[in-house]
Amino acid sequence: MTPRPLRALFLLCSLALVARADDGYRLWLRYDRIADESLRRDYAAQTGTIFLATPGGAESPTIAAARDELTSGLAGLLGTAPKLEFIKAEAPAALGPEGYSLRATPRGIEVIAARDLGVLYGSFALLRLIQTHQPLGRLAVTSAPKIQHRMLNHWDNLNRSVERGYAGQSLWEWDKLPGELSPRYRDYARACASLGLNGTVLVNVNANAQFLTPAYLAKAAALAGVFRPYGLRVYLTARFSAPIEIGGLKTADPLDPAVIKWWHDKATEIYRAIPDFGGFLVKANSEGQPGPQNYQRTHADGANLLAGAVAPHGGIVIWRAFVYDANVPDDRHKQAYNEFVPLDGRFRDNVVIQVKNGAIDFMPREPFHPLFGAMPRTPLALELQITQEYLGGSTQLAFLAPMWKEVLDADTFRPRAGATVARVIDGTANVARVSRPVNPADTGQETRATLSVIAGVANTGTDRNWSGHPLAPSNWYAYGRLAWDHTLTAAQIADEWTRLTFGNDARVVPTVTSILLASRETVVDYSMPLGLHHIMARNHHQGPGPWVAGGRPDWTSLYYHRADEKGVGFDRTTAGSNALGQYAPEVARRWADLATCPDRDLLWFHHLPWDHRMRSGNILWDDICLHYQRGVDTVRSWQKSWDTLAGAIDEERFKSVQALFARQEREARIWRDACTQYFATFAKRPLPAGVEPPAWTLGYLRSLNAPFTATAHPPAAK
């Protein structure tokens, strides 16, 4: 191992080299020197000695990571490295195994935790306070995660492509592993640990059985070795047909004894390679993926097969509820509920059902999924999408914390008022608590713990700035902060990320945060307003496609918007599909009644005439068009606001965002022109006052296979 002083010197040199040009690689861990000399002097005095305290008092790779981070971080911020002392101290019981306490004392700052990982999390938190210029004089902070497993899901493939990836190739260099370890792996782990993320699923839910072969387990083990000091446990996706594809069996029937033995042996093999392996994530019987229903078995049968295999090692199985039948029923919205609710209570203790935030598929806006609160004897995980599959990929800004707060704060009314989605997933909404055996590799962990999980589909790739758009890492950051503490507000997170990423300049912070906080609603306005959904282009999902038809109905836009000369929208009331019947009565009544259904959800639940009178006083047609125009106008306002920051933000990132905002304005106009012209063929009404005439004809826009690629340099108006 490299001696600690040399490691710290290496980190400092790396920071100095990166500082020459800010390409976004450092994310929110920038540690640039504080310009205010008085403030810098105060911080230096307050952090002259930092005590890292745990009950055990022993050195470890995780404590070494905390030491390195504090040494390099404070040296960069203050120009001087602190004195670090490791001491024994009892941590408050409320901190649990991962929480921390930060306390200012006359002798220095104390970072107290029950486990080494808590010390690392506390060290990052202390640096975050200094980076954002928070006072330390009366520092007394305690913090512990509200959710046990806080995970990133990577949809990365064997060939290093990334499904729904918009930032280059996969981070994982499979051809070079296990022998060559990119320095980027450690930086990825640092970024995750700085947010308190503690799990990573390395590969795609559309699984490949090759990742379970010995050669690839060795590669995953090499990554796990890099991640381990940062508390980041590795998970893999399990291809349900793996016993056939790589095991030589003739069946993958979950009740077949040979299949059961194969999975038990495979689990033993995996834990031999990766002692702290977290478990399996499974997508089964959905979109062509094999699963237990191939053998007339249930999802519970399939999940319990794998759960039994990893249970002796302390592993868990995360079984996705994103399932829908190829024989389309009356409403895809209802399918996951119909399949899983009858199975409540039939899953093993170490199984959690992973549920997307909404019932369709990560739309720009969806009402919360009806499964939340409907399975009181089964732990449910919340799955969010950090990568912007339906919100512009890496060419459009959409800060998603407001979107995620909508679902986290939504009241399911199950079992009673106040049972928000957040409380359902963290186990505090009177949902049955589920316990599991401890992983022997987790020394000192509690022997029984509530099984709670949150997952985010990652937006990382090999682009130098990790996420393509310079502002897109805000979503990785926001997800991590909410995974740790879902009571944080979107505004708090936006302010933090802006200060960490661009500094504390009084011009920059309010300008950038206001743009961030408006951005998701803006994308909704110019793409799928008022409850319209799933009207994007086919396959790549980039750009508008309200005309998409043909093939499987629930993969088309017409299935969802149902526009005709009478009106538009999907009727999910008792007069239609009655998907509202899957929610608690308090929720269903609110959405069913036009007097109480929010405008933002209107066309999700109702098919309404074009002349329906809205709360604004406009008819529905006019309101739809005005939303599209408002989205365009808001992006234009960002361009003006961003231009005022010239000189306050480094030129590289300033010009990059400036160019991307110009592109987003073009793409917003394409959405507006395509959708208003298409729906006008049914509404047969003119554009209302205040909406610009289209720049391109409907026929021309329909001819573009991938409009946002084709219009990177926009065509002449047609």
Let me know: does 407 contact 382? Beta carbons within 8 Å.
yes
Neighbours of 524 (CB within 10 A): 22
- Residue 515 carries which side chain, given as an amino acid letter? I
Neighbours of 346 (CB within 10 A): 16
Q: Are strands 567-568 and 608-609 parallel, antiparallel or unpaired?
A: antiparallel
- Cβ count near 590 (within 10 Å): 19
Residue 283 CA to residue 324 CA, distance in Å, equals 11
- The HSE-up count of residue 478 (CA atoms within 13 Å, CB side) is 30
What is the 3-class SS of 300-332, one letter each residue?
HHHHHHHHHHHHHHCCEEEEECCCCCCCCCCCH
d(CA 500, CA 480): 15
In angstroms, the CA 539 to CA 525 distance is 22
CB 483 within 8 A of CB 195: yes
List C-alpha distances in Å: 197 to 101, 216, 411, 427, 445: 18, 24, 26, 18, 17
Per the listing, tokens 């101290």 go with: 89
Q: Which residues contact 45 (CB under 8 A, 6 or more apart)?
A: none
Catalytically active residues, by annotation: 287, 361, 389
* Residue-level length of the chain: 718
What lies within 8 Å, CB to CB, of 153 at 6+ separation is: 201, 205, 281, 383, 455, 456, 457, 458
Angle between helices 257-273 and 299-310 (to 10 degrees): 40
**Which is nearest to 465 in space by CA: 475, 479, 456?**
475
3-class SS string, 231-285: CCEEEEECCCCHHHHCCCCCCCCCCCHHHHHHHHHHHHHHHHHCCCCCEEEECCC
According to DSSP, the β-strands at 100-105 and 140-143 are antiparallel
> Which residues neighbour 640 within 8 Å (Cβ) at sequence distance 6 or greater?
none
In a 10 Å sphere around its CB, with 0-12 CB exposed, 13-18 middle and 19+ buried, how is residue 565 labelled? Answer: exposed
Cis peptide preceding 178, ω within 30 of 0: yes
Residue pair 323/299 in contact (Cβ under 8 Å)? The answer is yes
